[in-house]
C-alpha cells in the first residue's frame, strides 16, 4: 500500500512541477512584455499614470505568475519528499537502491537546493531560472517513472550495507546540487549576468566537498565489498573524471581570465559528465556497478 502511495505521490509531484514550469514560462513571457512597455510609451509621447507616494506599487502580472510558480514548486517538493519517504518505508531500507529511486532523490535535492538559493537571493531575475531548473528535473523524473521504474523490493546482497546510506546519499545530494550549478552556468553562457555566475560558483563550492566525500566513501565501500579501493571500473573512472573537471572549474574561477565564460563551460562539461555517468555508464556499459539494475 505504501509503495502505491509513493508512486501516486511521485506522479503528482511530476504534474505539479509541470504546472510550475508553465507559470515560470508565463512570468518569463510577461516580464519581456513589461520591458518593452516603457519604450512604447516613450515612442508615443505619453506618460505613465501617477500614483500617490504612500501607495504601494501593485504587483505586476509577471510577479504574480512568478509567485504562483514558486508556490507550486514548494508544493511539488513536499509531495515529492512524501513519495521518497513512503518508498523507503515500503521497501524497509534507504530509498535509493535502484536507478528509479536514485533519479528521484537527485531531482528532489535539486528542487530543494533551487528553493534555498531563491530564498537567499530573492531576485525576480533569478526566479525565472526556475523554468530551466525544473526542465531537467521533469525529464529525469519522467524517464525514472517510465523506463527506469522498479517495484519496491529489498536490494541485492551487494547493496545491503550501511555504506548505501552514506555513499549513495552523498552522491545524490552532490548530483542534485550540481544540477542547479550546471543550469546556472548554462544560462550564464546564454545571458551573462554576475548573479548567475555567482550562483553557479557558490553551489559548486558546496557540492564539490560532498562529491569528494562520496568518491572516498565509495572507495572504502569497494574495499569492503570487493577487496580493493579502486579498480578503474567504468563508473569509478567517469566519477573521477567528473571530479577532475569540477576541481578544474574551481581552479579556473580563481584564475584571472578564466572567471567568466571559460569557467562556465568547464562547469557545464562537469555536469554533462555527471549525467553521462548516471545514465550511459549505468545502462549501457557493463561493470561492477551494474548490479543495482533499473
DSSP string, 182-201: HHHHHHHHHS--HHHHHHHH
Yes or no: say if 241 and 258 are a contact pair by the CB < 8 Å rule: no
Q: Give the model confidence (pLDDT) of 181-217 as tens digits.
A: 999 999 999 888 889 999 999 999 999 999 999 999 9
Measured over all CA atoms, what is the biggest interatomic distance in the chain, rounded to whole angstroms?
A: 79
| CA-to-CA separations, 106 to 72, 193, 266, in angstroms, rounded | 19, 27, 21
Contact 110, 275 (CB under 8 A): no
Domain boundaries, the chain: 155-294
Cα–Cα distance, 179 to 143 (Å, whole number)? 16
Whether 110 and 176 have beta carbons less than 8 Å apart is answered as yes
Using DSSP's 3-state secondary structure scheme, residue 177 falls into helix
Q: How far is the C-alpha of 245 from the C-alpha of 147, rounded, in Å?
A: 29
State pTM to two decimals.
0.86
The position carrying cell 506599487 is 57
Q: How many helices (H) and strands (E) does the chain have?
A: 11, 0
Per-residue pLDDT tens digits for 233-284: 888 889 999 999 999 999 998 887 787 899 999 999 999 999 888 877 777 6
Amino acid at each position: 500500500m505504501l509503495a502505491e502511495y509513493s508512486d501516486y505521490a511521485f506522479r503528482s509531484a511530476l504534474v505539479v512541477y509541470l504546472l510550475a514550469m508553465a507559470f515560470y514560462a508565463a512570468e518569463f513571457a510577461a516580464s519581456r512584455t513589461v520591458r518593452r512597455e516603457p519604450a512604447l510609451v516613450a515612442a508615443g509621447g505619453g506618460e505613465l499614470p501617477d500614483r500617490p507616494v504612500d501607495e504601494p506599487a501593485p504587483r505586476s502580472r509577471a510577479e504574480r505568475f512568478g509567485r504562483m510558480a514558486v508556490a507550486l514548486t514548494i508544493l511539488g517538493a513536499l509531495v515529492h519528499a512524501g513519495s521518497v519517504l513512503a518508498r523507503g518505508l515500503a521497501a524497509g531500507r534507504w530509498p535509493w537502491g535502484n536507478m528509479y529511486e536514485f533519479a528521484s532523490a537527485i531531482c528532489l535535492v535539486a528542487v530543494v537546493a533551487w528553493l534555498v538559493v531563491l530564498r537567499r537571493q530573492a531576485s525576480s531575475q533569478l526566479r525565472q531560472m526556475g523554468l530551466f531548473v525544473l526542465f531537467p528535473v521533469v525529464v529525469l523524473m519522467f524517464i525514472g517513472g517510465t523506463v527506469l521504474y522498479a517495484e519496491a523490493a529489498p536490494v541485492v546482497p551487494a547493496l545491503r550495507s550501511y555504506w548505501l546510506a552514506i555513499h549513495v546519499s552523498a552522491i545524490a545530494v552532490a548530483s542534485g546540487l550540481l544540477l542547479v550549478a550546471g543550469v546556472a552556468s548554462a544560462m550564464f553562457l546564454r545571458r551573462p549576468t554576475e548573479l548567475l555566475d555567482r550562483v553557479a560558483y557558490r553551489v559548486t563550492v558546496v557540492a564539490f566537498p560532498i562529491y569528494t566525500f562520496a568518491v572516498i566513501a565509495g572507495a572504502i565501500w569497494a574495499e569492503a565489498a570487493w577487496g580493493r579501493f579502486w579498480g578503474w571500473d567504468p563508473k569509478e573512472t567517469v566519477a573521477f573524471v567528473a571530479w577532475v573537471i569540477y576541481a578544474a572549474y574551481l581552479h579556473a574561477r580563481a584564475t584571472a581570465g578564466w572567471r567568466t565564460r571559460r569557467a562556465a563551460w568547464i562547469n557545464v562539461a562537469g555536469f554533462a559528465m555527471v549525467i553521462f555517468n548516471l545514465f550511459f555508464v549505468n545502462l549501457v556499459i557493463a561493470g561492477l556497478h551494474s548490479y543495482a539494475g533499473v
